Amino acid sequence: MSRIEALIELDNVRKSFGDFEVLKGISMFVQKGEAVCIIGPSGSGKSTILRCINGLFPIDEGFIRVGEHRVHELKSDKAMRALRHQVAMVFQQYNLFPHRTALQNIMMAPIQVLGHDRAEVEERARKLLKKVRLSEKADSYPGQLSGGQQQRVAIARALAMQPEVILFDEVTAALDPETVKDVLFAIRELVEEGLTCILVTHEMKFAREVSQRVCFTDHGLIVESAPPAELFDNPQDPRTREFLGQVL
């Protein structure tokens, strides 16, 4: 795959928290429309990769490009506004704004950050709520919704920014097993529609079904990267084999 065509490009990204080096030289490319899953043991740097891609964490060394934005060169939240318009993120803990209703959560950023027209944004928000099958919860506060419902509102909130890329950070890890499938269903639809997605996940079955490529990370490095059938059925690296042996 060529670097130029890639929508997202990371080259030798390093990141430390204090003395602990979380990322020890991550390089990866993601094509437009591709769904890439990142799997690996806890503490291997999976979530940190996502947070570096949308600039939530500044990196110590290396190069990150998303579309035309050179992320490692952007220094303030203000400078990153265009990047955040292009790259949305969904979090493990949903992180909805507790003082606003589901509908308001979805409408806030497009109106307040992007300056879009309120009426148009409301129409968009209601469509998205319908898409995640929560139309009847428009006026509920996050505190009144179940985890799975909150997470689907969070997905709708991310989509309302009309991003080109969505980063999913272990979005089902905090959910009850029976609500996981609703959230995965919503994500699968987005992948099928051709939205570029990077998913950090522990759902191996889902990773196998939905992604075009799976990256296995261990101790701050991408150990192996391959199409799911290849990586799951015929892992090359012993560390991948050991990890898959434990989780599958």
Partner 1 sequence: MLGLDYSWLADPAYQRWLLIGVVNTLKLAALSSSAAIVIGMLGALGFTFRIFWLDALIELFVEVFRNTPPLLQMLFAYFTLSTLGLKVTDPSTGLSVPLLSAFACAAISLSLFGGALAIEAFRSGIETMPRSIVDAARSLGYGRWARFWRIEAPIATRICLPALTNILTNLFKTTSQASVITVPELMYYAGQIYNDTFRTLEVMILVLLIYVALVSMLTFAMARLEAFMAFPGYGRGL
Could you say which residues in the range 186-245 bind partner 1, by CB under 8 A? Answer: none
Min dist CB 37 to partner 1, Å, is: 20
How many Å apart are CA 243 and CA 46, to the nearest integer? 14
Quote the DSSP letter at residue 71: G
Q: Does 146 bind partner 1 (CB under 8 A)?
A: no
Q: How far is the CB of 148 from partner 1 (least distance, A)?
A: 16
User: Which one of the spans 34-42, 73-81, 175-183, 232-240 is the region binding partner 1 (CB under 8 A)?
Assistant: 73-81
For partner 1, the binding residue among 73, 77, 209, 242 (CB under 8 A) is 77
Using rule CB under 8 A, residue 88 touches partner 1: yes
How far CA 223 is from CA of 31, 64, 67, 119, 195, in Å, comes to 20, 19, 25, 48, 26
- Give the separation between CA 29 and CA 66, rounded to whole angstroms: 10
Applying CB under 8 A, which of residues 70, 99, 130, 133 lies at the interface with partner 1?
A: 99
Q: Are strands 61-66 and 35-39 parallel, antiparallel or unpaired?
A: unpaired
Whole-angstrom Cα distance, residue 39 to residue 58? Answer: 22
* Site for partner 1 contains 75 (CB under 8 A): no
Residues 6+ apart with CB under 8 A from 6: 29, 30, 31
Residue ranges that bind partner 1, judged by CB under 8 A: 51, 54, 56, 76-78, 80-81, 84-85, 88-89, 91, 93, 95-99, 108-109, 112-114, 141-144, 157, 161
